[in-house]
Amino acid sequence: MPTALITGASRGLGAAIARALAPTHDLLLGGRPSAELDDLAMELEGSSTWSVELTDHDEVEAATEAITSLDVLVHNAGVGGISPVEETPAEEYRRIMEVNFIAAAELTRLLLPALREVDGHIVFVNSGAGRTARPGWSAYAASKFALRAFSESLREEEPDLRVTSVFPGRIDTDMQRELVDIEGGEYDATRFLAPQTVAAAVAQAIATPRDAHPTEIVLRPTGRR
């Protein structure tokens, strides 16, 4: 079976993407070492953990050396944060940019030879914040706008690869609960997209026949679940 590497796979959307791809792919489950990641690897036949700190570029380079062929790379790992510009120091911009953009760019660069080997597919899980920046979201939106620009440039540079950006609205995950808590709101899961819904869209993009290039997918919650 083809091989897919998913970052941020230990829980939430990453785990949902892993479950959606498990029937058709051998999986490398990226994430920090954890019982959750180990349990997911045991649950999904044909999967193994790929425990790497994505912001440690030397560690990432060493971990990618053994990957000589890769069919799918799903960039799902990310961090969030909400604060007005006047309360957001440079360190916060660096923290979010390092994880959400720079780590993804570097991992992509290192894996390009493996992806080129099989005309692979790169999926960037972006965000609605990668298309519209709202008050309080300057750091997070900046990282996602950067990721969007990177994906567009990559798509033009690598015509033999497929590059898909997925722009979901807010998703029912642990990170979403933390963000709602920061906002001072009451959490209502029905307001947000189910992780399985977004995972299904990712899997469908990957399954799209090769005569089509799914470049962008935009998902918005309806509140109907």
Question: Which residues make beta-bridge pairs with 76?
Answer: none
8 A C-beta contact, residue 77 and residue 29:
no
- Which residues have CB under 8 Å from 222's CB, separation 6+? none
Do the bridges between strand 47-50 and strand 216-219 make them parallel or antiparallel, or are there none, so unpaired?
Answer: unpaired
CB burial class (10 A; 0-12, 13-18, 19+) of residue 88? middle
**Angstrom distance (rounded) from CA 38 to CA 67:** 20
CA distances from 210 to 120, 131, 158, 162, 191 (A): 10, 27, 15, 9, 35
**Three-state DSSP state, 194:** coil
Per the residue annotation, which of 124, 140, 167, 192 is the catalytic one? 140
Q: Is 140 a catalytic residue?
A: yes
Q: Pick the closest to residue 151 from 171, 168, 167 (CA basis).
A: 167
Q: Which positions are annotated as active-site residues? A: 140
